[in-house]
Amino acid sequence: MIIQSVQVAILDLPTIRPHQLAMHTITEQAVVVARVRDTEGREGWSEIATIGGASYGESTPEAIKANIDTYITPHVIGQDPIRFGKIMHDISIHVRGNLHAKALVESAIVDLAARQRNIPAYELFGGKIHDGLPVAWTLASGDTGKDIEEAKEYLHQKRHNIFKLKIGKGDPMKNVEHVLEIQKAVGDRARLTVDVNQAWDEDTANQCIPILQDGGISMIEQPLPGWNHEGMARLADRYRVPILADEGATSIQEIFHIAKHRAGNSIALKIGKTGGLTAVKQAAGIAEAAGLGLYGGTMIESDLGTAMTVQLYSTMPPMKFGTELFGPLLFKDSITTNRVEFRDFNVIVPDGPGFGVEVDHEKVEHYSREKGVLA
């Protein structure tokens, strides 16, 4: 039951509406999927997403695929999937950086190891603590009235009671006014957070954060560039509203630095940017030991990537700020035959073998840039 092959493909998945961030507007999301097969024909699948090519971070879909095909796969073939810790340790010796690529490979191996034993993947990480996780939705129409109506409708449906607004693009003060009108409309029925996506300098942050804080906004995500740990520390010390580190909190070494210097008082976890499932659990342990709040972030993954993340997060203590694992709800279609479930303001943890979802091979082929790679 050793690993016989590793195959990687880039898919382009259309969204139901534009999803606007400071650095990019998503109308079609690139995701990278991997399939690992063993000698008995079993398959393990995984997905990693990036945003806007190289606009969000250094890893691009094309680089992820090329580096796995060329540099990582030779260290995987012939290995026993259950020894995924050793496999990834050996890869770390030979391959520097490439955190998204390592995360994709590790996750596919974990899915295969769990399926070989007919157990959910979360059993390989200590077992689940939660059956569901609170999930936020991003209000992104740009129209205050439409966003208010959308928020009220999702509250009525019991789909979301946490809402996030992207405010890194355009006039900062107009964005703040937009946020406060929505906060006033939903009142105490929902919690609002904002994400600046690194778009402010420290002067702008000091103008806007006091207004957002007084308006009842519950958390402010990455107001400053990721490299500006000193500035983030000053903001975290100055204001009572939590300051969340995301783009500045990638590797476990960076997260240790943030914890040590209080460059933010909470951390957004993401499998891709941290380097894999095991690395995310390590990152969460560092944050928990330092008394930092946790947030389950997203890179806008489909059902497959979301199932991976939900299963892992289910093994961790409660996250102070919940999650934003809404990705499947943003896509027009799914690459799995069964969907991740959302109800009662939660995303539900899948319980099937592996990551609990079954890949639709025809859909993967349909959305793949290069046909026949995963045939």
Domains of the chain: 3-118+358-367 (3.30.390.10), 124-348 (3.20.20.120)
332 is catalytic: no
pTM of the prediction? 0.92
Token pair, residue 51, equals 């945003």
Burial class (CB in 10 A: 0-12, 13-18, 19+), 120: buried
Q: What pLDDT, on the 0 to 100 scale, is given for residue 301?
A: 95
The span from the CA of 291 to the CA of 152, in Å, is: 34
Catalytic residue among 102, 164, 166, 273: 166
Looking at residue 168, what DSSP letter applies?
S
Half-sphere exposure of 9 (CA within 13 A, CB side): 21
Beta strands of 123-265 (E only): which ranges? Answer: 132-134, 137-139, 162-166, 191-195, 219-221, 243-245
The span from the CA of 303 to the CA of 12, in Å, is: 14
The span from the CA of 304 to the CA of 198, in Å, is: 28
Contact 101, 82 (CB under 8 A): no
The span from the CA of 221 to the CA of 168, in Å, is: 10
pLDDT in 10s for each residue of the chain, 375 residues: 899 999 999 999 999 877 666 566 777 889 999 999 999 999 999 999 987 666 666 789 999 999 999 999 999 999 999 999 999 999 999 999 999 999 999 999 999 999 999 999 999 999 999 999 999 999 987 889 999 999 999 999 999 999 999 999 899 999 999 999 999 999 999 999 999 999 999 999 999 999 999 999 999 999 999 999 999 999 999 999 999 999 999 989 999 999 999 999 999 999 999 999 999 999 999 999 999 999 999 999 999 999 999 999 999 999 999 999 999 999 999 999 999 999 999 999 999 999 999 999 999 999 999 887 776
